[in-house]
Amino acid sequence: MKSADIRQAFLDFMKSRTHRIVDSAPMVIQDDPTLMFTNAGMNQFKDIFLGNSEPKHPRVANSQKCLRVSGKHNDLEEVGVDTYHHTMFEMLGNWSFGDYFKEEAIDWAWELLTDVYGIEKERLYITVFGGDEKDGLEADQEARTFWQKHVPNQRILDFDRKDNFWEMGETGPCGPCSEIHIDLRSEAERKQVDGATLVNLDDPRVIEIWNLVFMEFNRKADSSLHPLPHKHIDTGMGFERLATVLQGKTSNYDTDIFQPLIQAIEKRSGKKYQASDSQVDIALRVIADHVRAVSFSIADGQLPSNTGAGYVIRRILRRAVRYAYSFLEMREPFIHELVAVLVTQMGEHFTELKSQEELISKVIKEEEESFLRTLSRGMERLETITSGGEKVIPGEKIFELYDTYGFPVDLTALILREQGLDLDEEGFKAELEKQKARSRKDATSVTGDWVVVKEDDVEEFVGYDQLEADVHLTRYREVEQKGKTIYQLVFNYTPFYPEGGGQVGDTGTLERDGEVVRILDTKKENNLIIHFAESLPKDVGSDYKARVDAEKRQRTERNHSVTHLLHKALREILGDHVQQKGSLVHPDYLRFDFSHFSKVEDEQVRDIEVRVNELIMQDDHLDEKRNIPLQEALDQGALALFGEKYGDTVRAIRFGESMELCGGTHVSSTGTIGLFKITQETSVAAGIRRIEAKTAQAALAVMHQAEDTVAEAKELLKNPDLTKAIQDLIHKNQALTKEIEELNSLKVEGLFKELKSQISEVNGVPALVREVPLDAKAVKDLVFRLKDSTQSIFMVFGYADGPKAGLTVAMTENLVKEKGWNAGQLIRDWAKEIEGGGGGQPFLATAGGKKPEGIASALNKARVFLEEA
Ligand code: SER
């Protein structure tokens, strides 16, 4: 079976069991502070499990893009070393939300694997939860009984909490689980050693393929377990492993999912994949795996960067570059070329890859180039370090390489070993620990458990229609951040817009009987709207008046609505390839990142600005559709973003011909925006440009500032025609410069004659040390004339130019050779006298400084040097 058919067969089977097939959620998570990436199919349903939101359908299934590289489920270090762990992988899953439970989940899993896919029953082993004393949980006898319908009891094995109790993270929904493992060994091997003894022992041929989780509990921050309102099913099957089994392979990398990538890398690097444990093979696997993770992340809108999720992506890509560099001897960027292979292979099912191919490959190429530069700088530094003669390189030096040059430790170790050197690993670890402790101190944040005040239904957002509401608290918790305590509050209703879609969160107040609690920010965590309050309301059980800062909200809305107009204008003027890649809508300004492969020319910037202002003047009224089916909105031409999670119904915002899917708040008609002014156009990454702009009073202020600058210039130049005045100045300046040069060469001529007769020997060296009334350029002429006129001479000239001072040290080649003097080195010390710095070559060096009074002492130092030399 081809992998695409395997995926389809799963979805068809679940559909026939009345599951609704849903899309994969984006791999990069936007609104859950406890999770950066989707690490399991159930992530997008977390709130349903917790009872914070209602399921739209009691049974769903999908194939979910997952990434396991950080947090609780982190497989990164295994990837490539073995043949069955991945950073990015697909998880086939089916879910029941308070509907069917253990029995159906078990029956269907068995039926699908053995009947539909035709896997030999004798190769399958089942694990069930064996209980846990600390959590006060019994062994899962129920699951065992259901399995006994299909499998002899001796192939059903008990395992403890570590293997058979599934948790998404440190806190959150969890429950006992039951896994299906497969024994891929040969008949002979299976006869010799019983497969049951190899389950859960990291044997690459006896592996888990499907995990059935029976969600029953919520793990709280104090690690206690609390029953969920309903019992749910959450299953996850590793798609790549399933393909290995069904395609009769023993490694995921031998399936049609990875082979095209492996072959492309073989071809490009000239290395052959031997499916072994060699470093070359590990490198091939690492690269084939990582290019998928990075490409899918970029397609979901997450670019490599220096922080958060972006940094994780950058590290994955660098791991791939490093393996290519060290083991495939690839010194040139090439990983970006694999994107085309990936798109051919997966672009059909994952259209976000196909439509952004060019962008993905450009971004990867730029990252590769920049990291390869880092590697070669690190190499240079490493050479300096190893030339010191030490046998064991101290931890601090390794840390410096790692921290300052981004040079990976394992690579350092490898290079050192090749040179017969060693590194102080303990010392390095100690340095690393010190750094970690420093950053821990900077960003400690302790989150307490929710205190439930009222068991209300899901919190409702009413902020599209009103800026005030009578609310009561449903839950709150205390959060410690950088030594400060704040409170996170959740209400039954809220007019506060939670940060999202680029728009900042609302601020405002909670008021009751003269008590005022300031709301500092509002954010979304999954489906909860969380208000950050500076203190806890005195009476948490009472009603409060929630009031949004209306003036700030209005400024923010102008900037949000204009972002839509800007998006439209960009697509009109630059072309349809423009896609939104990020935005920030702030009360004072807006920022819009978009895909475009060259600088936006000044003229285009002007055109865009004009077009947006036209759209403002058109005064189109807001046409808001709050609950329109996704497909209908798309059919009407609404713009949607990649990497955004949309439900079956969406909110669509239309102003005239601009229509976007958007959850933000907006002006009632575009005329309210008043004025739009672009303040900057820059580059953010390869293929991504950024426009920053302002509206209304803030835009006017920008223009006033520009006017003021012009007015000031006219005033200074005493001429209302600024262009002409500046042209005149430039001409005058050129003429003066020429005149000075002529005068200087006359002066040089005069000085040359005068100085020639003043050369005197110090310690046998003909020398001239004095101040001259020339500028730097003229001094250089003088120095060359003097050098040309004699066999041997040492010169030091000081010169003042207004508040600036200069120093030139020069000598003939014979002195460099015979005495070993070096002008570049000598000047460094002497220039300190004029509070300056400089350098140059052994025979000529110059320095500039800001203390003309120091010239005499600098020259003095030079004289002392000559006398003592
Ligand atoms: N959440 C479980 C897992 O990730 C089953 O889907 O293994």
Interatomic CA distance for residues 51 and 54, integer angstroms = 7
Q: At what angle do helices 409-418 and 395-404 cross, to 10 degrees?
A: 130
Distance of CA 617 from the midpoint of ligand 1 (Å): 53
Please report how many Cα atoms fall inside a 13 Å half-sphere around the Cα of residue 315, on the Cβ side.
14
* 122-136 burial: b if 16+ Cβ within 10 Å, else e: ebbbbbbbbbbeeee
Q: Is it the case that residue 315 has pLDDT exceeding 90?
A: no
Q: What is the pLDDT of residue 116?
A: 97
Interatomic CA distance for residues 53 and 754, integer angstroms = 94
- Residue 40, SS3 per DSSP: coil
Q: What residues are paired with 795 via a beta bridge? A: 768, 810
Q: At what angle do helices 308-327 and 409-418 cross, to 10 degrees?
A: 20
Contact 797, 841 (CB under 8 A): no
Interatomic CA distance for residues 132 and 135, integer angstroms = 6
Q: Is it the case that residue 571 has pLDDT exceeding 60?
A: yes
Q: Whose CA is nearest to atom 2 of ligand 1?
A: 236
Interatomic CA distance for residues 533 and 519, integer angstroms = 5
Distance of CA 40 from the midpoint of ligand 1 (Å): 5
pLDDT digits (tens, 9 = 90+) for 386-431: 887 888 888 988 888 888 777 778 778 878 887 888 889 899 999 8
Contact 344, 362 (CB under 8 A): no
Q: What is the pLDDT of residue 256?
A: 96
Q: What is the pLDDT of residue 440?
A: 67
Residue count (the chain) = 869
pLDDT digits (tens, 9 = 90+) for 779-826: 999 999 999 999 999 999 999 988 999 999 999 999 999 999 999 999
Distance of CA 64 from the midpoint of ligand 1 (Å): 11
Between 432 and 254, the more confident residue is 254
Give 25's contacts (C-beta < 8 A, 6+ positions apart): 38, 43, 44, 64, 645
Give me the mean pLDDT over the 271-297 stretch: 95
Give me the mean pLDDT over the 342-368 stretch: 93
Residue 813: name the closest of 793, 831, 795 by CA.
Answer: 793
Distance of CA 459 from the midpoint of ligand 1 (Å): 28
* Number of other residues whose CB lies within 10 A of the CB of residue 514: 5
DSSP letter for 831, please.
G
Residues in the ligand 1 pocket, defined by CB under 6 Å = 40-42, 93, 166, 211, 213, 234-236
- Best mutation site among 75, 166, 207 for ligand 1 pocket (most ligand atoms within 8 Å of CB): 166
Give me the mean pLDDT over the 354-368 stretch: 94
Distance of CA 148 from the midpoint of ligand 1 (Å): 23
Contact 301, 313 (CB under 8 A): no
Interatomic CA distance for residues 110 and 123, integer angstroms = 12
DSSP letter for 387, please.
T
Secondary structure in 3-state letters for 201-267:
CCCCCEEEEEEEEEEEEEECCCCCEEEEEEEEEEEEEEHHHHHHHHCCCCCHHHCCCCHHHHHHHHH
Interatomic CA distance for residues 84 and 179, integer angstroms = 16
For residue 200 the two structure tokens come to 């859960």
Q: What percent of the chain has pLDDT above 90?
A: 76
Give 651's contacts (C-beta < 8 A, 6+ positions apart): 624, 625, 626, 627, 628, 661, 662, 663
Give me the mean pLDDT over the 608-619 stretch: 98
| Mean pLDDT, rounded, of the chain | 92
Q: Is it the case that residue 506 has pLDDT exceeding 60?
A: yes
Residue type, 12: D
Interatomic CA distance for residues 286 and 601, integer angstroms = 40
Q: What is the pLDDT of residue 305?
A: 87
Between 679 and 481, the more confident residue is 679
Backbone angles phi and psi of 622, in degrees to 5 = -70, 125
Q: Whose CA is nearest to atom 6 of ligand 1?
A: 236
Give 184's contacts (C-beta < 8 A, 6+ positions apart): 123, 205, 206, 207, 244, 245, 250
Interatomic CA distance for residues 428 and 656, integer angstroms = 61
Distance of CA 179 from the midpoint of ligand 1 (Å): 10
Q: Whose CA is nearest to atom 4 of ligand 1?
A: 40
- Best mutation site among 68, 212, 234, 242 for ligand 1 pocket (most ligand atoms within 8 Å of CB): 234
- Best mutation site among 24, 42, 73 for ligand 1 pocket (most ligand atoms within 8 Å of CB): 42
Interatomic CA distance for residues 305 and 563, integer angstroms = 24
Q: For 30-44, 46-60, 514-528, 588-602, which range has the lowest pLDDT when averaged over its residues?
A: 30-44
Q: What is the pLDDT of residue 113?
A: 98
Give me the mean pLDDT over the 220-233 stretch: 92
Interatomic CA distance for residues 248 and 261, integer angstroms = 19
Q: What is the pLDDT of residue 441?
A: 64
Interatomic CA distance for residues 394 and 386, integer angstroms = 11
Give 478's contacts (C-beta < 8 A, 6+ positions apart): 448, 485, 486, 487, 488, 536
Ranges assigned E (strand) in 413-527: 422-423, 445-447, 451-452, 460-461, 468-481, 484-491, 493-494, 508-512, 515-525
Distance of CA 518 from the midpoint of ligand 1 (Å): 41
Contact 859, 853 (CB under 8 A): no
